[in-house]
Structure 1
């Protein structure tokens, strides 16, 4: 069961973060303040999907890794604390702050500074989760390792 939960939860978490990131970027670039406010208000509600998905992926990953060794497992284990810290210390507080500012219509310098930080931190998590997915696919044999030069 864990072997089924882990990839589904990991993919759900990655897709949710990617959705948050793209919706933020696209509305900031191409939409007006009311749409930005709507997106920033809805993102914290997405935590109802994201946080359980991350917990399921992390828990099932730890359980699967108990019996596994090797560089791919070690790399995935090293990335997870960075992903978690980035989410808990930067992304969640930023999303809540931006939601409150957007609902108040306060699109000021502080809003855009935090928005920039959130986009960078979100891109980092997308990259790290994507690398974990790639390594997971390699571990299961669904993707071949990169060719050695």
Structure 2
């Protein structure tokens, strides 16, 4: 639970701070943020994601059902987006921002990173919600028709 919360908060922080700094920040502040996302950001996010996946896999071995199946279905997408899109985008954007290359390709990759980040936020949020339901920490409220 701690690792999944940490991973979700990292991605949310990266996402929101990127939008904020792109809207009102200078080139220097964008470069500083991109650097912080790569280091220490990725050094926090990647272990948190690994721990989240490992704990989810261990806990799901003993359980079955619709929620477990949905969580298992989402995890490969979260991992692929993280490994093949978000991490490479973060590294490349950091390099370009450090060099002051805020051109069309920078913003094209930035848009890809934001879309991938939003997608991972949504998928991770759904997994967290379903994990809380499985643990009994989040109860479903019955809908009553009146």
Q: TM-score range by the shorter chain?
A: over 0.9
Q: Could you tell me which residue of structure 1 aligns to residue 96 of structure 2?
A: 101
Return the alpha-carbon distance in structure 2 between the equivalents of residues 91 and 61 of structure 1.
Answer: 21
Superposed displacement of residue 145, structure 1: 2.3
The number of aligned residues is: 143
Superposed displacement of residue 8, structure 1: 0.4
Q: Could you tell me which runs of 5 or more consecutive residues in structure 2 were left unpaired when the two chains were aligned.
A: none
Q: Given the alignment, which residue of 23, 26, 29 partners 1:35? A: 29
Q: Given the alignment, which residue of 38, 44, 68 partners 2:38? A: 44
Q: Does 1:9 align with 2:13?
A: no
Q: Could you tell me which residue of structure 1 aligns to residue 12 of structure 2?
A: 18
Task: Specify the SS of the correspondent of 2:122.
Answer: helix
Q: Could you tell me which runs of 5 or more consecutive residues in structure 1 were left unpaired when the two chains were aligned.
A: 1-6
Return the alpha-carbon distance in structure 1 between the equivalents of residues 114 and 4 of structure 2.
Answer: 20
Report the TM-score, using the length of structure 2 for normalisation: 0.95
Q: Could you tell me which residue of structure 2 aligns to residue 3 of structure 1?
A: none
Superposed displacement of residue 125, structure 1: 0.3
Q: Does 1:92 align with 2:66?
A: no
Return the alpha-carbon distance in structure 2 between the equivalents of residues 12 and 29 of structure 1.
Answer: 26
Report the TM-score, using the length of structure 1 for normalisation: 0.93
